[in-house]
Amino acid sequence: MTKADLKTGYRVQLKNNRTYIVIKDCDTNLYEHQDIVFANSNGFVVGDGYDDSLKSYNDSNYDICFVYDKPGMRNLLILSEKGMLLWKRESIK
């Protein structure tokens, strides 16, 4: 799985167990246009902070370890709702 494979609505779970919604092609006030953003109710993380293997450049606790498909349309904005597991990082240390 790479950043290019991610789609808007997917859920990603980080090593620190936080879950975010993937948003592609997003404009932000502080960081201007971003190709990809990971957002939750506490804020967002910009995709520029990740390499193509979904590892954080700055803090390994922010490495993406799980990618889930988007849930049904009815639950699209409910962060705790996840679709089918699409990818799991081989080694989570």
Q: How far is CA 13 from CA 27, 33, 62, 80, in A?
A: 22, 23, 9, 11
Query: What are 5-49's pLDDT values in tens digits?
Result: 999 999 999 999 999 999 999 998 888 899 999 999 899 999 999
pTM to 2 decimal places: 0.86
**8 Å CB contact between 18 and 85:** no
